[in-house]
Amino acid sequence: MGGLRSTEWYDGQDRNSYIHRAWMRRGTPDDSLDGTKPQIAIANTASDLTPCNMHLDEVAESVKQGIWEAGGVPYNLPVVSLGETVVKPTAMLWRNMAAMAMEEMFRANPVDGLVLLGGCDKTIPALLMAAASVNIPAIVVPGGPMLTGHFRGEALGCGTDVWRLSEEVRGGRITNGEFLKSEASMIRSKGHCNTMGTASTMAVVAEALGMTIPGFAGTPAPDSRLLSMSHETGRLIIELVKANRRPSDIMTKESFLNAIIAVAATGGSTNSVVHMLAIAGRLGIDLTLEDFDDAGRDVPLMVNLQPSGEFLMDDLYRAGGVLAALSQVKELFHAEPITVTGKPLVDYLTGQPVYDETVIFPREVPLMADAGIAVLRGNLAPRGAIIKPAAATAELLQHVGPAVVFDSIEDMRARLDDPDLDVTADSVLVLRGCGPRGYPGMPEVGNMPLPRKLLEQGVRDMVRISDARMSGTAYGTVILHVAPEAAAGGPLAFVRTGDIIRLDVEGRSLSFDVTDEELQERSQSAASEAAYAAPTRGWEKLYVDHVMQADTGADLDFLVGSSGDRVSRESH
């Protein structure tokens, strides 16, 4: 086979090709490196410190079998992995580092194709960013959600029920001891969070972008069909290499619009916004916040899954799966974008039966008529902020109330439960210093807890605003990703407690009552700047010096665009 990238290493009769071949034989058949067999890297985010991805070594074995069977040569390539619940200060700080390291390793090695094994929140985004940047044929294997755990006979939703139960403790409705007893039941099996959180959402995004075998996303991690689809992916990557079908052929502007529709129809995570913007940026695609608002507008919510609804990912699979859910809104999808199979996504959206209409709703009676992520603008968020109406309280989507401002997450924790805090159910909680630069890393703290005294009064939701993100498993009337963030000099830095804040989701506006002159005056007052200590070394310094704002995906400015798959100079 001519034209394989790996022949740049292995072709020839000279000393360097000798070195490349000799060290890579390691027991493979003699013809493995003869220039006719695609060399496939299995980018593997398995790690014992990424609990959601711990099973991916087993998955990699199935992929390997498929690659051998189809005439390729597989290589396990362990790459940077990020465990959402354990990595500090936030896995998002490391997403770009992981993507950059993956990209460089893909390019530096003799590979013709990539199989991307991801699962936990940041792993699929980082893998797709890297694959987009090298533009080598690639397919995603989503590691799959875990099975549903139960506590005292009731299903537990990963993340979502942690937030719910901890608020029950703070509100005095259950004891802390009862809360802690649920801990052992939360994670029932291998796999990632079983709600429509960020991991599930990014699997749906990968599938809607066309980057998985259609029908793969949402397959539970312990299900044997995950391994058979992984085997099939191993076979398919060889076809992709032969057809020279690259990520840029699959991930087009229209496929991103399809993914936005898919996220809305499945009640997906707000985190998908920064991840899709970053992936698109690597491909040079002009995807904007407006595209999310426009493409997601009037898309109905078709699935009854936590955090927007009731059920869990295992139920979705039982009810027909992701394709059955998307097929309910088939007419909304762009017809042209292809998948890794070479066929359009829409070809897979017919003949998908629904087995449980309490999980996947019929088109005529969706769970919600308009589930798209709304983009808000105004003098509080000149470059935009987002809200997920599907996870919010309908009555709060239009709201006017006085701000209660916290300068940092520590400030919020110190004062939130103070009985003397001047706060009512009408107040708007404002948290700043939690954006990409300010934290740094843009943590998932935007769904800040409610003040204890209001919880005890029975308050269940309030308007909250921040430059942070929110866990995909969380819910509430939470406005996120305010851009520019406070640490970048955005107006959020100059809001004061007592300022009147106006939210109008229908009108897509977010503002506070301050004149331009007053805002100018405040911006010149050093006292009103949010607390912000710039890091002085290492990745954090590189990140803070170069990270872009949330409205463009919070990637590093010098990583935008593709560097392609060029083969570098020889090392010997």
Closest separation between CB of residue 271 and ligand FES, Å? 11
By the rule CB under 6 A, 190 interacts with ligand FES: no
By the rule CB under 6 A, 85 interacts with ligand FES: yes
Q: What is the DSSP string of 218-238?
A: T--TTSHHHHHHHHHHHHHHH
End-to-end CA distance of the chain: 26
Closest separation between CB of residue 500 and ligand FES, Å? 37
Tokens of 387: 């809200």
Vertex 472 angle, CA 313 and 47, to 5°: 75
Total number of residues shown for the chain: 572
Q: What share of the chain is helix, strand, coil (3-state, %, to 5)?
A: 40, 15, 45
Strand partners, 528: none
Type of residue numbered 16: N
Q: In whole angstroms, give the CA distance from residue 251 to residue 257.
A: 10
By the rule CB under 6 A, 120 interacts with ligand FES: yes
Q: In whole angstroms, give the CA distance from residue 10 to residue 19.
A: 9
* E strand or H helix at 318: helix 313-319
Taking CB under 6 A as the criterion, which residues in 149-188 touch ligand FES?
158-159
Closest separation between CB of residue 52 and ligand FES, Å? 3
Closest separation between CB of residue 357 and ligand FES, Å? 27
Give the residue with the Cβ less far from ligand FES, 184 or 534: 184
Which of 112, 121, 232, 293 is in the footprint of ligand FES by CB under 6 A? 121
Give the residue with the Cβ less far from ligand FES, 39 or 50: 50
Give the residue with the Cβ less far from ligand FES, 197 or 389: 197
Burial 174-191 (b: 16+ CB within 10 A, else e): eeeeeeeebeeebbbbbb
Closest separation between CB of residue 343 and ligand FES, Å? 30
Which of 20, 192, 437, 481 is in the footprint of ligand FES by CB under 6 A? 192
Taking CB under 6 A as the criterion, which residues in 200-219 touch ligand FES?
none
Q: In whole angstroms, give the CA distance from residue 400 to residue 378.
A: 14
Q: Kindly list the distances between the CA atom of residue 212 and the CA atoms of 204, 206, 338, 345, 431, in Å, as whole numbers in the listed order.
A: 9, 6, 11, 10, 38
Closest separation between CB of residue 121 and ligand FES, Å? 5
Give the residue with the Cβ less far from ligand FES, 306 or 339: 306
Closest separation between CB of residue 155 and ligand FES, Å? 16
Q: In whole angstroms, give the CA distance from residue 479 to residue 469.
A: 9
Which of 105, 127, 193, 559 is in the footprint of ligand FES by CB under 6 A? 193
Closest separation between CB of residue 119 and ligand FES, Å? 7
Give the residue with the Cβ less far from ligand FES, 158 or 345: 158
Helices 123-134 and 91-108, axial angle in degrees (round to 10):
40
Backbone angles phi, psi at 335, to 5 degrees: -85, -25
Q: In whole angstroms, give the CA distance from residue 147 to residue 21.
A: 44
Give the residue with the Cβ less far from ligand FES, 132 or 474: 474
Burial of 2 (0-12, 13-18, 19+ CB in 10 A): exposed
Give the residue with the Cβ less far from ligand FES, 52 or 111: 52
Give the residue with the Cβ less far from ligand FES, 84 or 112: 84
CB-side exposure of 548: number of CA atoms within 13 Å?
18
Give the residue with the Cβ less far from ligand FES, 33 or 316: 316
Tokens of 374: 């709304």
Taking CB under 6 A as the criterion, which residues in 12-71 touch ligand FES?
52
Give the residue with the Cβ less far from ligand FES, 52 or 98: 52
Closest separation between CB of residue 455 and ligand FES, Å? 25
* Residue position matching structure tokens 């020889």: 570
Give the residue with the Cβ less far from ligand FES, 205 or 236: 205
For ligand FES, which stretch binds (CB under 6 A), given 192-200, 400-408, 446-454, 557-565? 192-200
Closest separation between CB of residue 50 and ligand FES, Å? 7
Closest separation between CB of residue 352 and ligand FES, Å? 25
By the rule CB under 6 A, 126 interacts with ligand FES: no
Give the residue with the Cβ less far from ligand FES, 195 or 549: 195
Task: Please answer whether residues 242 and 1 qualify as being in contact, where contact means their C-beta atoms are separated by less than 8 angstroms.
Answer: yes
For ligand FES, which stretch binds (CB under 6 A), given 28-36, 191-199, 223-231, 421-429? 191-199
Give the residue with the Cβ less far from ligand FES, 197 or 220: 197
Task: Please answer whether residues 387 and 373 qualify as being in contact, where contact means their C-beta atoms are separated by less than 8 angstroms.
Answer: yes
Type of residue numbered 121: D
Q: In whole angstroms, give the CA distance from residue 461 to residue 177.
A: 25
Task: Please answer whether residues 212 and 218 qualify as being in contact, where contact means their C-beta atoms are separated by less than 8 angstroms.
Answer: no
User: How far is C-alpha 270 from the geometric centre of its chain's CA atoms?
Assistant: 8
Binders of ligand FES: how many residues, by CB under 6 A?
A: 11
Backbone angles phi, psi at 100, to 5 degrees: -70, -45
Closest separation between CB of residue 90 and ligand FES, Å? 12
Closest separation between CB of residue 507 and ligand FES, Å? 34
By the rule CB under 6 A, 84 interacts with ligand FES: yes
3-state secondary structure 444-513: CCCCCCCCHHHHHCCCCCCEEEECCCCCCCCCCCEEECCCCCHHHCCHHHHCCCCCEEEEECCCCEEEEC
For ligand FES, which stretch binds (CB under 6 A), given 190-198, 216-224, 305-313, 550-558? 190-198
Chain contacts with ligand FES (rule: CB under 6 A): 52, 84-85, 120-121, 158-159, 192-193, 197, 199
